[in-house]
Chain A
Amino acid sequence: MTSQRPGATDRSEHDDRAPLSIHDMTVAYDRKPVLWDVDLDIPEGQLVCIVGPNGAGKSTLLKACLGLLPCVSGDVRFWGRPIQRQRVAYVPQRESVDWDFPVSALDVVAMGTYRKLGWLRPVGRRQRTQALEALERVGLTEFASRQISQLSGGQQQRVFLARALVQNADLYLMDEPFASVDASTEEAIMDVLRELRQNGRTVVCIHHDLQTVRESFDWVVMLNMRVVAAGPVDEVFTMENLRRTYGGRLTLLDQAATALGQATRSLQGS
């Protein structure tokens, strides 16, 4: 599916193997719709990014899929079934929590094991070991016992990533994992995402940096209240679709960078 069809579609047209399939989803805040008739199948085993201007409803889309926000209408399926929470991990926006909270990095990562632990059972040695392993994967072993406010922004983001890794899910939904992180953290996070893809997991990221879309992701969803375009990056990440997504809000710099990317690509292709 490369573009949004007008009007309602049939549920049966969706792929039941898709890790995430959204059917005609409409979400509204205070009588104001934020997402209109979103219809989308995310393919398995791909690195997918969602791009779009501020206020396009990117975070809302992820939250509504997870049932954190009510949908006015629509239907979300995971592998053709209602949400299976043990197979889905969510990385919220870093700014959404209070980093002054009295917990250590290890405590936060261990929260990823809570679901499997279930009600009332406390975190034990096994959960702590799993959390430590996840911290190691994101390169933060030596920060395990630090209070989270003593971590830099990039380290906090990696703690969130580790918390999702602990869940050992098949589908990862990440809300701006690259927001305000430094170059080396971005590389470290990308490495982890590629490793996930290698193991057949699916990753959906909300992403802001249009210049890295082409090199880092396989699939792109271009969103502005509705799905403007969705498909393999090579096919749909075009100047025309970008203009349709961002309207006049695409900055000159982004345009230049994208144009440059396209020029290099056509050079390489020829």
Chain B
Amino acid sequence: MDSFLRVLLLEDYNTRLVVIGTVCLGIAAGAVGSLLLLRRRALIGDVISHATLPGVGIAFLVMIAMGGTGRWSVGLLLGALAAGLLAAGLVMLIRRTTLLRDDAAMALVMSTTFGLGIVLLSIIQDLPTGNQAGLESIIYGKTASMVRGDAIGIGIAAVIVIIICACLYKEFRLLCFDEHFAGSQGWPTTLLDVVLLLLGAAVTVIGLQAVGLILVLAFLIIPAAAARYWTDQLRLMMFIASGIGAASAWMGVTISAMVPRMPAGAIIVLVAAAFFLLSLLFGRCRGLLVSFRLSLALRVRIHRQHLLRAIWECRETQSPVQLEQLLARRSWSPLQVQRLIARSARRGELQIHSDQTVELTPAGEEAAARVVRNHRLWELFLIRHADIAPSHVDRAADEIEHVLGVELVGELESILAQDETVPSSPHVLGTGGGN
């Protein structure tokens, strides 16, 4: 417990470094990941990350050939960045010039570059200059052995990425939403795409040291995907994704520092996945719980409207209304009707008499009149003007005038004027609806 607190509160110098570095990375990854996800370029991060392996290998060999040790990490990362961008460019080239689709082009480039990287690694291993110089660590990340320079480098790169995202927010939003419109306004869409790709590549490459090349994609995409469940605004989505990225990084590093030989990268990704699961379930905007509650509410609403309408229509022949009459009107079970009636009675819309009959209260009268009027007008409209998409019609919630316009409704009403079963508009209900 003591060690846990020590780690969590950043008392340990090395942990503090690692935490600050990876948290910066998490923030940058959340922001860039949101944009990549919305641009439908999520998998391009995977292409970039796999291509970094041969990039690092080649950079290592070049540095050896130039007489260095090959362990200069800035050089290795620049090699990774160049290779990643090259691979992303290659995917776009394949897509434009051949008939291959996106997924095929990406799979092709990704596996080929990774294969090349593994070959290069084994060549390097056989070199007289010795071991792989820790090159393998970029596959799985090397959080635990991160040194001060690495952490500062990650931090600076992440801050630059975040600043660019903030400055070009408007431009990226336009590009991701509607690239043709952006092009028609004269924005250089290809250049913006390249900049976005460059940001993705930068996050990927600096993420290599923290989570490794296989898991870095998850760091880009999972927080962004989770954030979408909480908001319908791009700006907020980017903030939330950054927050989730940062929190995953912090918790991941902390947990891995406590348990010996536990790789931080994997823990970070698992923590992010846990955040995703929580968002999927409890997300305020489109989480499963909210959707479930909404569909439940819809069912309740529909049943209430059916009940009110049934009572209204039964009452046209006889009042007060018998329960059997209601049962006959819809495919309700006796128990269901009892429950529906009880619920509406609690709402003050109807009154239950001791002889098993029900009667609408004045409030219920008004509500029923509105429901019946809307339903009948919509039915008439759908019969006469069937050119509206029926799925866009919410017969009860939308006041019919809002959707159809006052003139059309007036026309419909005049058609229905002969038919006295349609209650008049709710605005004149006091005189027209009740009797």
Instruction: Enumerate chain A interface residues (CB-CB to B < 8 A).
Output: 30, 63, 66-68, 83, 85, 88-90, 92, 96-98, 101-104, 107-108, 111, 114-115, 117, 119-123, 147, 152-154, 163, 167, 173, 180, 182-184, 187
Instruction: Indicate whether B234 reaches chain A with its CB closer than 8 angstroms.
Output: yes
In the complex, the chain B residue whose C-beta lies closest to that of A123 is B170
B390 vs chain A, min Cβ distance (A)? 10
Beyond A85-B186, A184-B405, is A98–B177 a contact (Cβ under 8 Å)? yes
Instruction: Indicate whether B176 reaches chain A with its CB closer than 8 angstroms.
Output: yes
28 residue pairs of the A-B complex, CB under 8 angstroms, read A30-B99, A68-B180, A85-B186, A92-B180, A96-B178, A98-B177, A102-B38, A102-B231, A102-B233, A103-B232, A103-B233, A107-B234, A111-B177, A111-B178, A111-B181, A117-B170, A119-B171, A121-B170, A122-B170, A153-B392, A154-B392, A182-B385, A182-B389, A183-B388, A183-B408, A184-B403, A184-B405, A187-B405
Chain A residues within 8 Å of B385, by CB: 182-183
- B232 near A104 (CB under 8 angstroms)? yes
Chain B residues within 8 Å of A103, by CB: 173, 177, 232-234
Among A30, A92, A103: residue with most chain B CB under 10 A = A103
State in angstroms the CA–CA spacing of A108 and B182 once bound together.
12
State in angstroms the CA–CA spacing of A183 and B385 once bound together.
8
A-B contacts besides A102-B232, A102-B234, A120-B171, 17 pairs, CB < 8 Å: A88-B184, A92-B181, A98-B177, A102-B231, A103-B177, A103-B232, A103-B233, A103-B234, A104-B233, A107-B173, A107-B234, A114-B170, A154-B388, A154-B392, A180-B389, A182-B389, A183-B385
- A102 near B181 (CB under 8 angstroms)? no
- B184 near A66 (CB under 8 angstroms)? yes
Instruction: Indicate whether B228 reaches chain A with its CB closer than 8 angstroms.
Output: yes
State in angstroms the CA–CA spacing of A102 and B238 once bound together.
11
- B184 near A97 (CB under 8 angstroms)? no
Chain B residues within 8 Å of A89, by CB: 184
In the complex, the chain A residue whose C-beta lies closest to that of B389 is A153
Beyond A102-B228, A147-B232, A152-B392, is A90–B177 a contact (Cβ under 8 Å)? no
Instruction: Indicate whether B356 reaches chain A with its CB closer than 8 angstroms.
Output: no
- A85 near B387 (CB under 8 angstroms)? no
Instruction: Indicate whether B328 reaches chain A with its CB closer than 8 angstroms.
Output: no
B377-404: which have CB < 8 Å to A? 385, 387-389, 392, 403-404
In the complex, the chain A residue whose C-beta lies closest to that of B231 is A102
A28 vs chain B, min Cβ distance (A)? 14
Instruction: Indicate whether B237 reaches chain A with its CB closer than 8 angstroms.
Output: yes
- B185 near A114 (CB under 8 angstroms)? yes
State in angstroms the CA–CA spacing of A187 and B385 once bound together.
14
Beyond A96-B178, A111-B178, is A68–B232 a contact (Cβ under 8 Å)? no
Give the 9 A-B CB pairs with smallest separation, nearest first: A90-B184, A182-B388, A152-B392, A147-B232, A85-B186, A115-B185, A184-B405, A68-B183, A66-B184
- A184 near B404 (CB under 8 angstroms)? yes
A58 vs chain B, min Cβ distance (A)? 15
B184 vs chain A, min Cβ distance (A)? 4
Given B180, B187, B233, B237, which contacts A90 in the complex, CB threshold below 8 Å? B180
Beyond A115-B185, A147-B232, is A92–B392 a contact (Cβ under 8 Å)? no
- A122 near B169 (CB under 8 angstroms)? yes
- A120 near B168 (CB under 8 angstroms)? yes
In the complex, the chain A residue whose C-beta lies closest to that of B234 is A102
Instruction: Enumerate chain B interface residues (CB-CB to A < 8 A).
Output: 38, 40, 99, 167-171, 173-174, 176-178, 180-181, 183-187, 228, 231-234, 237, 385, 387-389, 392, 403-405, 408
State in angstroms the CA–CA spacing of A111 and B233 once bound together.
15
Chain B residues within 8 Å of A90, by CB: 180-181, 184-185
State in angstroms the CA–CA spacing of A111 and B389 once bound together.
28
State in angstroms the CA–CA spacing of A67 and B184 once bound together.
7
Chain A residues within 8 Å of B405, by CB: 184, 187
In the complex, the chain A residue whose C-beta lies closest to that of B227 is A102
A169 vs chain B, min Cβ distance (A)? 10
Chain B residues within 8 Å of A98, by CB: 38, 40, 177
Among B181, B186, B231: residue with most chain A CB under 10 A = B181
- A101 near B177 (CB under 8 angstroms)? yes
In the complex, the chain A residue whose C-beta lies closest to that of B407 is A184
State in angstroms the CA–CA spacing of A107 and B183 once bound together.
18
State in angstroms the CA–CA spacing of A199 and B48 once bound together.
52
State in angstroms the CA–CA spacing of A232 and B381 once bound together.
36
State in angstroms the CA–CA spacing of A182 and B389 once bound together.
7
A153 vs chain B, min Cβ distance (A)? 6
In the complex, the chain A residue whose C-beta lies closest to that of B394 is A152
Chain A residues within 8 Å of B176, by CB: 101
Chain B residues within 8 Å of A85, by CB: 184-186
- B408 near A184 (CB under 8 angstroms)? yes
State in angstroms the CA–CA spacing of A117 and B387 once bound together.
40
Chain B residues within 8 Å of A163, by CB: 181
Beyond A102-B234, A119-B171, is A97–B178 a contact (Cβ under 8 Å)? yes
Chain A residues within 8 Å of B232, by CB: 102-104, 147
A249 vs chain B, min Cβ distance (A)? 22
Chain B residues within 8 Å of A102, by CB: 38, 228, 231-234, 237
- B389 near A152 (CB under 8 angstroms)? yes
State in angstroms the CA–CA spacing of A143 and B237 once bound together.
21
In the complex, the chain B residue whose C-beta lies closest to that of A122 is B170
Chain A residues within 8 Å of B185, by CB: 85, 90, 114-115, 167
A248 vs chain B, min Cβ distance (A)? 26
A16 vs chain B, min Cβ distance (A)? 22
Among B38, B40, B180, B392: residue with most chain A CB under 10 A = B180
State in angstroms the CA–CA spacing of A96 and B179 once bound together.
9
State in angstroms the CA–CA spacing of A131 and B118 once bound together.
54
- B167 near A120 (CB under 8 angstroms)? yes
Among A68, A117, A121: residue with most chain B CB under 10 A = A68
A224 vs chain B, min Cβ distance (A)? 23
Given B99, B177, B387, B388, which contacts A97 in the complex, CB threshold below 8 Å? B177
B105 vs chain A, min Cβ distance (A)? 16
